[in-house]
Structure 1
Amino acid sequence: MHPTLDTLDTPAAVIDVARMQHNIDRMQQRMNALGVRFRPHVKTSKCTPVVRAQLAAGANGITVSTLKEAEYFFAEGVADILYAVGMAAHRLPQALALRRRGCDLKLLTDSVASAEAIAEFGRANGEVFEVLIEIDTDGHRSGIWPEDPALLDVGRALHDGGMCLGGVLTHAGSSYELDHPEALSALAEQERAGCVRAAERLRAAQLPCPMVSIGSTPTALSAAQLDGVTEVRAGVYVLFDLVMSNVGVCTADDIALSVLTTVIGHQHDKGWAIVDAGWMAMSRDRGTQKQKRDYGYGQVCTIDGAVLPGYVLSGANQEHGIVSREGAPDADIAARFPVGTRLRILPNHACATGAQFPEYRALSGDGQLAAWERFHGW
């Protein structure tokens, strides 16, 4: 007998399949309208049924954050894979093995030292690695500024070193800090223009640059035009979360991931209900803490997924969560949420919450819960 939301052991990570599919279709349709390829970042789900749905909607290849993801999805039949983390030399043998098995694996670098290490290893092993150069378009994390002289040095180290200079890549991660449509649109254009400019500089130096890869969920959903871009990457859009809701690119009704939890006790004088989803279930990610709305460890919903306004997971220990009402404590919380009550908590960060679980429970429209494996590690 299949479990239901009433009988499933808790805590459990639940994906609303209809919401997920709506999110997939929304993003793919937008990319189609903008005339670019879409390469979803699968680090959000690390789950084959989710990735298959993304590819079925029209995605071209995938983005990964670990070579374990590349191994896993190549075994599942996906060959066009971009490893969008700066390449460490000790991982080159693993990358080589993947390519020799037929995986069209693309690597990333943002330094001459790394580029030279890739080229040296490739020449020594008779392999022409395809490598993209990471561009920093917003000062968020890694990459080379579009006008930095080092860009051409890295390009030459790859190209003259016998590798395939595949193009340029950027990620406007600072978009997570914004919450106004005008600011998001402006950053999307900054991301596009900066990456295109880097490509132009490489080409002007007689270096190849076929790929211009940009993307984050907020900028992908905010760009007015993508002239000069060949592909967009985004990841968290497939499930969405409270951080993205605060940014303004989704609503709570779009969030496809929740954690099913059970009320196990109360602190009457504090107005608390205690649930069995602590930070081991929700993760320690407090991404909404610095945003316009702080949801603690998550937004509380009914078992059916309806948001309970004002009720949040305000605190968390390892296996205990505290449900409370914002503002004045709820003196009737024990009556409102008796022991045994089942609730669903929307997460701050879908990637981090999903990573706490070995599987998702995929909730279909008829209430059935399928088990979808999710893998871990590096």
Structure 2
Amino acid sequence: MMSQHRPNTPALLIDEQRFERNLARLNQRLERLGVPLRPHLKTVKNVELARRMLAGQPGGATVSTLAEADYFFADGIADLLYAVGIAPGKLEAAARRIADGMQLTLILDHPDAARAVADAAQRLDTNFRVLLEVDADGHRAGFQPDDPALVESARILANGGATPAGVMVHAGGSYACRDRDCLVRAAEQERLAAVSATEALREAGFEAPVVSVGSTPTATFAQDLTGVTEVRAGVYAFMDLVMAGLGVCELDEIAVSVLTEVIGHRGEHGQVLVDAGWMSLSRDGGTADQAVDRGYGVVCDETGRVLCPEVIVCATNQEHGILARRDREALKLEDFPIGRRLRILPNHACATAGQFEHFWLADPEGRPVRKLERCRGW
């Protein structure tokens, strides 16, 4: 591949055409369902790509760190949902950002956390805006929709000078689905959890204007979003092998990859060494429980075309990746000369992208054409 840009390997590449198609696909779907998108920016961590994700939407975004909030706020994206349960030790930092004009919304899922926010609201003279996290599937965090602690926490916030603005749900359990029907059910389960929790708050006298749901699988397969005011999704912009395994995308719709170079052969094993190990690919084994285990990534040629679905990264060391066939047949080593450049489609876009400070936008022929920064830190 000839190009004036030849990144050192390993390098993070974003296929710009695939990225744009992924955005358009979800935008069109949510437009049909009549609900706006609050994109999650934790995967892209770049303001140019964030602007593209926000195009045509109300302007609010989701972040997973205060460092992300600072980075995007500095470029004029002010309406930010910090979608991790607020640590009490971060409340002063949150208050400073609100005082500076950031429209920062927090989340929590326990009365003690609500007390910490209420106490900080009085101490710091800050009206924190808070969403109460609701659990739809036992995957991670959140109140049960009918838990009295949900309304109790809203009262604690309101009495302390903070604003219980509504609810948010993340159906992370959807990642365990194995067919379309399961994903459709997960999306409806997510919606029902959010709506029923909101009804409980409204019956208790709270306006609860925000009903926020989302994950890439449920956003993709939702059939009805009645009662929902916004959808959050992030990995949809890049896609990855986990999403492909769920049926959310095809392999040729994955926009993110890691550029790597062949550095050696393991002739006796019919395997190939590349310079992309777990420090660049991550050790996320997200496809291990799916119907097809992709190891640590699927191998493509330098233009981004899959060589053969059987050729994967079967193992990683810190800076070494080991390529092999899933069917255990030996690779033809003559097809992998030392110095050949390849691309690896990752299991988990967020985890892999998080290993890099920069990425390269690639054109339809796979040529890296422009280097862009990514924010880092917490």
TM-score relative to the length of structure 1:
0.97
Tell me how far 1:125 sits from its aligned partner: 2.0
Please name the residue that 2:293 is paired with: 294
Q: CA separation in 1, counterparts of 2:328 and 2:55?
A: 48
- Residues 37, 60 of structure 1: 8 Å contact kept: no
Tell me how far 1:291 sits from its aligned partner: 1.1
- Residues 176, 218 of structure 1: 8 Å contact kept: yes
Please name the residue that 1:147 is paired with: 146
Please name the residue that 1:17 is paired with: 16
After superposition, residues 51-200 of structure 1 pair within 5 angstroms as 51-58=50-57, 60-200=59-199
Q: CA separation in 1, counterparts of 2:326 and 2:209?
A: 52
Question: Secondary structure, in 3 states, of the residue corresponding to 1:37?
Answer: coil
1:239 matches 2:247: no
Change (3 A) 1:328 1:143: closer
Q: CA separation in 1, counterparts of 2:60 and 2:216?
A: 17
Tell me how far 1:116 sits from its aligned partner: 1.1
Q: CA separation in 2, counterparts of 1:79 and 1:207?
A: 25
Residue identity over aligned pairs, in percent, reads 48
Question: Secondary structure, in 3 states, of the residue corresponding to 1:165?
Answer: strand
Q: CA separation in 2, counterparts of 1:183 and 1:256?
A: 25
1:323 matches 2:323: yes
Name the aligned partner's letter for residue 333 of structure 2. Answer: A
State the Cα deviation string for residues 36-55 of structure 1 (Å, max 9, x = none).
12101111111112101111
Tell me how far 1:8 sits from its aligned partner: 2.3
State the Cα deviation string for residues 184-207 of structure 1 (Å, max 9, x = none).
001100100111000001100112
Tell me how far 1:72 sits from its aligned partner: 0.9
TM-score relative to the length of structure 2:
0.97
Name the aligned partner's letter for residue 93 of structure 2. Answer: Q
Runs (5+) with no aligned partner, structure 1: none
- Residues 11, 262 of structure 1: 8 Å contact kept: yes
RMSD: 1.3
Question: Secondary structure, in 3 states, of the residue corresponding to 2:42?
Answer: coil
Tell me how far 1:144 sits from its aligned partner: 0.2
Q: CA separation in 1, counterparts of 2:127 and 2:277?
A: 47
Q: CA separation in 2, counterparts of 1:204 and 1:231?
A: 21
- Residues 92, 124 of structure 2: 8 Å contact kept: no
State the Cα deviation string for residues 307-361 of structure 1 (Å, max 9, x = none).
1221001111111111112224325x22111111111000000000001111001
Q: CA separation in 1, counterparts of 2:59 and 2:219?
A: 16
Please name the residue that 2:224 is paired with: 225
Name the aligned partner's letter for residue 312 of structure 1. Answer: I
Q: CA separation in 2, counterparts of 1:117 and 1:272?
A: 55
Q: CA separation in 2, counterparts of 1:358 and 1:312?
A: 25
Tell me how far 1:160 sits from its aligned partner: 2.1
State the Cα deviation string for residues 114-173 of structure 1 (Å, max 9, x = none).
111111111122211111100001100000000111111111111222211110000000
Please name the residue that 1:358 is paired with: 357
After superposition, residues 243-262 of structure 1 pair within 5 angstroms as 243-262=242-261
**How many equivalent pairs are there?**
375
Name the aligned partner's letter for residue 8 of structure 1. Answer: P
Tell me how far 1:368 sits from its aligned partner: 4.6
Q: Which moved more, 1:176-185 or 1:344-353?
A: 176-185
